[in-house]
């Protein structure tokens, strides 16, 4: 099977194959085709791919396996051969009707977003690798906008106290934000509705906030939180308010797959925050955890700055591409192994969205039917 890496339109800066991973595909006997300029935004020039043994082409959508960051447009899809694999970040739970279009084109769609979160699948988990980078970038965004420094410093002019940071939503991105803020010297607190998060937050040296909200066992939902009941939702907003008021920086990364981001920060809570404080809403792409967030805009609410960045994970494009390419190689190798070809294989069933001209993933099918 030949493997293709297309160039994605701006503002996307990542590429699904890097030169070092291309060498691994080639060693396995799979020719690699890379579209001209596909890696430029990630600091990977065409020459690096040529030196790795790749064929540079005008379009990589004709390959047997296309590794992509984002689903194809109509013109790109029209170039794909029936039965070809489309492997990558495809947003199947957010855009289920686009998956039906892929099925009608007889494309086998394989999505990272529905990969089971099991030990065996860790090397293939692109959501986690990209979320790690997003968590790091949230801290840089906050530090660049806060009118003071994160660490405590003892100077000739006296002692500067450390900044107080609150992280809401302590999954992969939130935990990385905690670790990065701690390395910069901030005093960090975290909160997540999932019971398992408390130990993880404390293991990084941060304090965990206890609220009068029923902790969730997320083991049955792939490690993700579930929507809160009305009572718990109200108690959450009320319980977080004093912690928000005490923070210099708030970073949020709470998300539920295929749903709008849960609201954790009310307008009233923002009004009660310290002058000069900053909110970086890492869930802006899904609507935001703060009710005042506007995606890709900076909003000033009194003396509080609310930042709604999207595409945080793509900012360090070189490392984002390297980790994504490794994940894609591991997933392709697993699916291409005859030993995993059984219909009852958990990983294969989890990531396969379309096959044989049909949408075959149960959750995506449910979402298609719900939106008809």
Catalytic residues, by residue number, are 117, 122, 125, 128, 224
d(C-alpha 294, C-alpha 311), whole Å: 14
Handedness of CA 133, 139, 144, 145 (dihedral sign): positive
Q: Is the peptide bond before 11 cis (omega within 30 degrees of 0)?
A: yes
Burial code of 310-338, b = ≥16 C-beta within 10 A, e = fewer? bbbbbbbbbbbbbbbbbbbbbbbbbbeee
286 with 255: CB under 8 angstroms? yes
């Amino acid at each position: 099977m030949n493997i293709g890496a297309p160039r994605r339109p701006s503002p996307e800066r990542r590429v699904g194959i890097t030169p070092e991973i291309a060498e691994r595909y080639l060693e396995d006997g799979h020719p690699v085709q890379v579209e001209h300029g596909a890696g430029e935004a990630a600091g990977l020039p065409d020459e690096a791919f040529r030196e790795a043994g790749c064929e540079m082409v005008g379009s990589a959508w004709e390959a047997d396996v296309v590794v992509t960051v984002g689903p194809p447009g109509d013109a790109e899809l029209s170039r794909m051969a029936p039965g070809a694999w489309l492997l990558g970040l495809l947003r199947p739970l957010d855009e289920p009707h686009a998956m039906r279009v892929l099925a009608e084109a007889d494309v086998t769609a394989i999505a990272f977003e529905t990969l089971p979160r099991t030990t065996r699948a860790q090397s293939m988990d692109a959501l986690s690798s990209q979320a790690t980078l997003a968590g790091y970038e949230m801290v840089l965004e906050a530090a660049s906008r806060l009118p003071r420094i994160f660490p405590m410093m003892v100077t000739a002019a006296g002692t500067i106290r450390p900044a107080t940071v609150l992280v809401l939503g302590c999954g992969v991105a939130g935990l990385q934000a905690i670790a990065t803020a701690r390395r910069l010297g901030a005093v960090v607190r975290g909160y997540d509705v999932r019971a398992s998060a408390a130990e993880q937050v404390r293991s990084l040296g941060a304090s965990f906030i206890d609220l009068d909200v029923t902790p969730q066992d997320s083991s049955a939902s792939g490690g993700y939180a579930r929507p809160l009941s009305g009572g718990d939702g109200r108690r959450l907003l009320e319980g977080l308010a004093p912690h928000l008021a005490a923070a210099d920086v708030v970073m949020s990364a709470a998300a539920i797959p295929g749903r709008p981001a849960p609201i954790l920060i009310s307008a009233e809570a923002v009004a009660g925050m310290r002058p000069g404080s900053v909110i970086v809403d890492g869930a802006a792409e899904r609507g935001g955890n703060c009710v005042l967030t506007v995606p890709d805009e900076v909003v000033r609410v009194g003396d509080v700055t609310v930042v709604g960045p999207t595409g945080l994970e793509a900012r360090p494009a070189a490392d984002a591409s390297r980790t994504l390419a490794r994940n894609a190689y591991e997933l392709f190798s697993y699916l291409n192994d005859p030993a995993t070809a059984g219909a009852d294989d958990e990983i294969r069933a989890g990531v396969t969205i379309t096959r044989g001209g049909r949408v075959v993933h149960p959750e995506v099918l449910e979402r298609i039917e719900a939106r008809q």
